[in-house]
Amino acid sequence: MQAIGQNVRQISFWAENAAPIGLVALVIVFAILSPTFLTLGNIRAMLVAAAILVILAIGQSFVITTGGIDLSISATMTFGAIGFGLAFQAGAGFWLSALVAIVAGLLIGLINGLLIAKGKVTDFIATLGTLSVATGLALIVSNGKPITVTSDELLILTSGSLGIFGYPIILAAVIAVLAWFFMFRTRFGLHVQAVGGNEESAVANGISATRIRMAVYLISGGLAGVAALLLVARVGAAEPAINTQFLLNSIAAVVLGGVSLTGGKAKIVGPVIGALLLTALTNGLTLLGVSQFYQPLAVGLVVVLAALLTRFQKK
């Protein structure tokens, strides 16, 4: 107790925990302002809504831990969704189509990995390129038309739940637990952190930076494929439109979660909470009936404030 009390007085305590503190603060404010906010129904809805962003943020977190960035993540999700839609339309059934979505995501991840790890192209530019490429491919293969998908499995995925936890957020939670396990309890995760912290030293100790980089972009692509499933389930169709919002939000969630963009410091819980925070923010603003025009302003201010806080983190 006392230890915590002491901690609280230090600014770095606030900085390390910007995301959970921000989340708690938001919850308190919204709970006071809106009676609906803390109802079970709304919490359930919020969690389901957060699932896609949580999964993307986890993928992004692996990439950012190595000091990279994946700008193609939401375009990859779109591409995966179209892959699912086409496979399903062709009669492949749910499971095979899901596989196609994930493979499509892995494909873009592979291209990113090859460009960045083997081709030594700057992450920013490589993924900016694949953003365009994935978008173009999604448009071309779908002929620019949304593909309506009606599948029992998808219906179960969207509407099923255990208590207040809908299946999407349960899937996201399972992924988060696995991600945490791999990041902090296996050699692979340690090597991801080492490459992000100091690539030269990692290489001198026999770690293959090339393989690690390949792996994180594959993870991010694969998770974008999984997110594509939830996306198709949620909107009931595979659409070739890009969801730019998801890209910026996935990065914001990771940074709000206390991960430095320079790499080397891994976090999984932080980005998950960051994603929840961003979702709660839009949810609360919607509940309060705040005009659409003020919402980007509010999101921007929260991001900037959280970033100002995180800078007091201990090195």
Site for a copy of itself in 218-237 (CB under 8 A): none
- Judged by CB under 8 A, how many residues of this single chain contact other proteins? 71
Which candidate, 107, 111, 82, places its Cα nearest to that of 228? 82
- Position 245, amino acid: Q
Among 13, 96, 99, 234, binds other proteins (CB under 8 A): 234
Is 252 a binder of a copy of itself (CB under 8 A)? yes
Is 119 a binder of a copy of itself (CB under 8 A)? yes
Helix ranges, 90-122 (H): 93-113
Site for other proteins in 199-218 (CB under 8 A): 200-208
Among 5, 41, 91, 163, binds other proteins (CB under 8 A): 41
How much of the chain is in helix, strand and coil states, percent to nearest 5? 75, 5, 20
Phi-psi region of 144 (alpha: psi -120 to 50; beta: other; left: phi over 0): left
Cα–chain center distance at 5: 33
Shortest Cβ 112–other proteins spacing (Å): 22
Shortest Cβ 113–a copy of itself spacing (Å): 13
Is 110 a binder of a copy of itself (CB under 8 A)? no
Is 185 a binder of other proteins (CB under 8 A)? yes
Select the binding partner of residue 120 from other proteins, a copy of itself, none (C-beta < 5 to 8 A, by kind). Answer: a copy of itself
Is 133 a binder of a copy of itself (CB under 8 A)? yes
Q: How many residues does the chain have?
A: 315
Is 126 a binder of a copy of itself (CB under 8 A)? yes
The Cα 21–Cα 275 span in angstroms is 13
Task: Using alpha carbons only, give the angle 300, 303, 306 rounded to the nearest 5 degrees.
Answer: 145
CB distance 115 to 217 below 8 Å: no
Burial class of residue 174, CB neighbours in 10 A (0-12, 13-18, 19+): exposed
Using CA of residue 220, residue 226, residue 230, residue 232, what is the dihedral sign?
Answer: positive
Site string for other proteins, 49-88 (x = CB under 8 A): x--x------------------------------------
Shortest Cβ 247–a copy of itself spacing (Å): 10
Is 91 a binder of other proteins (CB under 8 A)? no
The Cα 225–Cα 105 span in angstroms is 5
Among 60, 61, 112, 193, binds other proteins (CB under 8 A): 193
Positions that interact with a copy of itself (CB under 8 A)? 115, 119-122, 124-126, 128-137, 139-140, 143-144, 244, 248, 251-252, 255, 260-261, 292-301, 303-304, 307-308, 311
